[in-house]
Amino acid sequence: MAYRLAIAGVTGAVGQEFLSIIEERNFPFQSLKVLASSRSAGKKMSFKGKEYTVEEMTKDSFKDVDVALFSAGASRSREFAPAAVKAGAVVVDNSSAYRMDPEVPLVIPEINPQAIKTHKGIIANPNCSTIIGIMPVWPLHKVNSVKRMVVSTYQAASGAGMSAMLELADQSREILDGKAPMMKVFPHQIAFNCFSHNSALGPNGYNEEETKLVKETRKIFDCQAIAITATCVRIPVMRAHCESINLEFTNPITPDEVRSILRSAPGVTVLDDREHNRFPMPIDATGKDNVFVGRIRQDESLPGNRGINLWVSGDQLRKGAALNAIQIAELL
């Protein structure tokens, strides 16, 4: 039971994370194709003691491939995923291309593994801020429906790729050295600054990152009734997102109940040490599989103990992207 595997976008930050998670989890594969754009074609990379040559992704790349992990951007997914499916592969797509397609399941294995069965060749991986935000919300929602979520994100540079992480480091050094920071990847200075997420704005003033969080959550929870509003922000952190989440429940719920539910939730680590003022931080979540959750408090601004505040942190490249996709492939 070992797959013939392909990775599309292998040279990117998520592509590299795919490789390290495949190795770590001993994901079974009998062959591996490493695909990227023509720019990277011909590059050598060694993996698990073998050398691989990066091939340019074309529509013919997917012969003899069982599972193709895509993380090469939405336009490349739109261009090549149908060819991969036609060639017989199942595509796990990390881009936004197919997430809201009603024919395509959008899956977080801890939340809606059953959705995977309906796939017609493509399974979509949700957006990083959606996955990280709702991992600890789902176990609560299951026992006490969430009526409304107010989310504010604190997002890492990695969501914009490896070059954005380098830009954060470069700009930080430039500023510390008294130089003007160079802007190449982000539209604004990221070092020692923060800004509203750099995705396109819709007519209602919400950026795509915010709209994804709203729509993807409803699809994954299979619950159109859940009311969600989000404000997505980039902060100068490398690769773990944080989110401040305010939840309004249907019925009363206490912080102790929340902690108890989350302590037994898969993929979630409760770090809620009030005595030592020790709560989830990006440096806790970096490189970890689980989403960390803490600052579990009764929201006293809502009557009848129906409000809870949470603070979460999760690795954007792992559970926010590569790990979740590989968990989907493991489910197959």
Residue from the set 166, 182, 183, 227 that interacts with its own copies by CB under 8 A: 227
Please name the residues in contact with 292: beta carbons below 8 A apart, sequence gap of 6 or more: 268, 269, 270, 271, 280, 284, 285, 312, 313, 314
Output the smallest distance, CB 130 to its own copies, in A: 16
Residue from the set 233, 254, 330, 332 that interacts with its own copies by CB under 8 A: 233
Output the smallest distance, CB 22 to its own copies, in A: 27
176-215 residues in contact with its own copies (CB under 8 A) are 176, 187-189, 192-196, 198, 200-201, 204-207
Q: Is 128 a catalytic residue?
A: yes
92 and 68 Cβ atoms separated by less than 8 Å: yes
Q: Does 81 bind its own copies (CB under 8 A)?
A: no
Q: Does 295 bind its own copies (CB under 8 A)?
A: yes
Got the DSSP string for 16-71? HHHHHHHHHTT--EEEEEEEE-TTTTT-EEEETTEEEE-EE--TTTTTT-SEEEE-
d(CA 280, CA 293): 6
- Tell me the three state secondary structure of residue 171: helix
Residue range at the interface with its own copies (CB under 8 A); choices 70-78, 117-125, 165-173, 315-323:
165-173
Residue from the set 246, 290, 316, 324 that interacts with its own copies by CB under 8 A: 246
Residue range at the interface with its own copies (CB under 8 A); choices 46-54, 66-74, 91-99, 232-240:
232-240
Please name the residues in contact with 228: beta carbons below 8 A apart, sequence gap of 6 or more: 148, 149, 150, 151, 213, 214, 217, 218
d(CA 101, CA 98): 5
Residues with a known catalytic role: 128, 241
Applying CB under 8 A, which residues contact its own copies? Answer: 148-150, 152, 154, 168-169, 172-173, 176, 187-189, 192-196, 198, 200-201, 204-207, 227-229, 231, 233, 235-238, 242, 244, 246, 255, 274, 277, 279, 281-283, 294-302, 307, 309, 311
